[in-house]
A and B are shown apart, each in its own frame.
Chain A
Amino acid sequence: MVENRPVLNVITHLVLIIGIVIVALPIWITFVASTHDAVRMTQAPIPMLPGTHFWENFSQTLLGSGLSGTETAPVWRMLLNSLTMALMIALGKIAISLISAFAIVYFKFPFRMLFFWLIFVTLMLPVEVRILPTFEVVADLGMLNSYWGLSIPLIASATATFMFRQVFLTIPDEMLESARIDGAGPLRFFWDILIPLSRTNIAALFVILFIYGWNQYLWPLLITTDTDMTTIVMSIKQMLEAAEQSPQWNIIMMTALLAMLPPVFVVVAMQKLFVQGLTETDK
């Protein structure tokens, strides 16, 4: 629909701007709050314009001990924990799903469809549903307070397996046959042909899964007790409840701001591949 009517233009822009303001306002307030000192943030009304304490808050949050008077890990440590967990989950999920989709699509083995449906059924069991047995297992394996414990239970992924299966099914059979004639064995075919052909899908999935991993809250909360293993998302909640203090909004908001940055960075960096991966069908 291509229309060129000035009044309509104004209205559509107005609607869009209102939408953006609604979405962006909390982020703006977060930013503003992170630029004032603690005292200013306890006075009403809350400020709507940036203050002058940004760098001070920044360095106290990132490098110092965060909230004054508590024993949490510095925020850089939490960022590192979150980053490690999110990367392990995203890369682990992608690796496992690629391999299982490869097996299901390209190999004939007994009970192949049964396995596929078993994987598929786990779609119905998100982490929250199986959280107690999973906790039990992880605890028994001695993986509490470790990166392995944080990521492994979240790695198995029916969604990604299913998606890669669909991607592989769109690759014509002749591609496999021509690789066979060229002398490529299954692993070479996987590396040299399937992976490059799924490149954009892998990127799209990476973005989604990275954010999924980054935003994990309940699971890390359960299995980490050591402050050194705290992830940034859970720490924000903990800061609110920090013992016997009124919340230090400037620091909390700075933490929130820092917590938003890596996902934004991943999305921006992979935007082109991401869009291609979700829209391109031609192989």
Chain B
Amino acid sequence: MASITLKDLVKAYGDTEVLHHVEGEISDGEFIVVVGPSGCGKSTLLRMVAGLETVTSGTICIGDKVVNQLEPADRDIAMVFQNYALYPHMSVRENMAYGLKIRKISKDEIARRVEEAADILELRPYLERKPRQLSGGQRQRVAMGRAIVRNPQVFLFDEPLSNLDAKLRVQMRLEIRKLQQRLGVTSIYVTHDQVEAMTLGDRLMVLNGGYVEQFGTPIELYDRPATTFVAGFIGSPAMNFLPATVSAGMATLGNGARLANAGAANGAVTLGIRPEHLLQDDAGPVRVTVELVEQLGANSLLHGKLEGTDIEMVVSQPGHMSAAAGTVMGFVPANGALHLFHAETGKRIEP
């Protein structure tokens, strides 16, 4: 078990910097999810912690040891790859035992650990099979098993579930979380799926273009997103963004509508409202021209435009709802549900 510290971490390939001054403190036993769009540098960050990529500048500590120069095998980590990277010519048992064998651990001890891991992951019946004789979910579990038997200080996962079908993904997600809680191993988990990130992580690190946008608990990210990027990335359907000008606590939207409680900001801002925080109110200031209603059963999603403008909006209402295209409906933001962001930098303005 160990904490991980990332200090001023930079990664550059030649002249292009792909990770910019990443900072992060991960405490012992924490489950961290690194999330962000494709190409933002998630895998690169993870692979630097694993020792598979060199560090351009900055330091990585595992426990209180700087590991920048250590080989992956000496960092006491285990990694689960997206395509599992099982050795195709070895049986499940040999796959799990390989790392231990290299470490010259005694045969009895290896057998004990492999069988223990197999029990945890319900892989007992498959121990003598080759990876190609297993289903995707079983292979995934073998990859997990290979990580567990090592008894490492840190687990690293690089999109381990993205090759599975949706249902299995939900199930494996739960299993990974339970397993991590049970073993209490510090973990870093990379995904581009925000639902996976929200449900798994103790804390989320949101990366965008190589910058850390925000690092906090799922609820912090949802309630107080630090930037428009985080605000748009976390939560589904995504937050509505409306350009507005604020003066004396009143926000004026593009179509002239005025909203109260706009806080301490002044001048041009981007106003953010989550679809689920708009309450129907015929006299409400936010008026939406309906284009389409999606009935999801438990709730309804109303797609439309802010009246008189071209700004796309989504509103989520509980229960059933129907509205003909072209009708205009009024909404009022729930209390404290307005997020204000600087119009140019996209940074959050605290109310």
Contact = CB atoms under 8 A, between A and B. Distances in A.
**Do A and B form a real pair?**
yes
Interface of B: 50-52, 71-73, 77-79, 81-83, 85, 87-89, 98-99, 102-103, 146
A55 B51 CA distance: 69
Interface residues of A, number: 18
Given A180-B71, A181-B72, A181-B79, A188 B102 contact: yes
B85 A175 contact: yes
Contacts of B52: 177, 180-181
A183 B99 CA distance: 6
Majority-rule SS of A interface residues: helix
Given A177-B72, A283-B88, A182 B83 contact: no
A136 B17 CA distance: 56
A174 B83 contact: yes
A175 B131 CA distance: 13
B347 to A, nearest CB: 37
A184 interface: yes
B157 to A, nearest CB: 13
A192 interface: yes
A182 B102 contact: yes
A176 to B, nearest CB: 9
13 contacts: A172-B83, A177-B50, A177-B81, A178-B87, A180-B73, A181-B50, A181-B99, A182-B98, A182-B146, A183-B73, A184-B102, A196-B89, A197-B89
A193 interface: yes
B98 A181 contact: no
Contacts of B89: 193, 196-197, 199
Nearest to A171: B88
Contacts of B79: 177-178, 181
Contacts of B83: 172, 174
Interface in A161-209: 172, 174-175, 177-184, 188, 192-193, 196-197, 199
A269 to B, nearest CB: 21
Interface string A8-46: 000000000000000000000000000000000000000
B83 to A, nearest CB: 6
Given A174-B81, A188-B102, A192-B98, A181 B73 contact: yes
A175 B89 CA distance: 12
A184 B98 CA distance: 9
B88 A197 contact: yes
Contacts of B81: 174, 177-178
Contact of A183 (B82, B85, B103): B103
A174 B99 contact: no
Contacts of B102: 182-184, 188
B114 to A, nearest CB: 14
A177 B98 contact: no
B103 A181 contact: no
Contacts of A193: 87, 89
